[in-house]
Amino acid sequence: MNQKTNVNADKQKRYRERQKAKGHKQVRGYVDQQALECYQNIQEVTSWTDSEILSNALKITYAAYKCGQIKLLNSWLKENMQPIKGQDE
């Protein structure tokens, strides 16, 4: 079984190296319940992968920033995203 584990680890390492060679960067993080609900809704509506959702969210946020609309985006989020009960704000 250890041989099998090593083969899988090597396969994952090669995959990560190929992605890195393509210029892709792995980004990890944890999201709160509200963000997870948004993610699930986006995934249902668009059928995007995790990578597509994250990439597009970053691009949209960057576009708002470059167009001087980041305050508008933050304001909209505050006004339209209701806090989840029992969660600190």
**Nearest 5°: phi and psi at 36?**
-65, -40
The per-residue pLDDT for 89 is 45
In a domain, 73, yes or no: yes
In a domain, 74, yes or no: yes
User: What digits encode the pLDDT tens for the residues 27-69?
Assistant: 778 888 888 999 999 999 999 999 999 999 999 999 999 999 9
In a domain, 28, yes or no: yes
C-alpha 84/C-alpha 36 separation (Å) is 12
In a domain, 86, yes or no: no
What is the pTM for the complete model shown?
A: 0.67
pLDDT above 80 (res 86): no
- The total number of structural domains in the chain stands at 1
In a domain, 89, yes or no: no
In a domain, 85, yes or no: no
pLDDT above 70 (res 1): no
List alpha helices for 1-89, DSSP H.
2-21, 33-46, 50-66, 70-80
Enclosing domain of residue 72 = 2-80
Q: What's the angle, vertex CA 71, arms to CA 69 and CA 75, rounded to 5?
A: 120
pLDDT above 70 (res 87): no
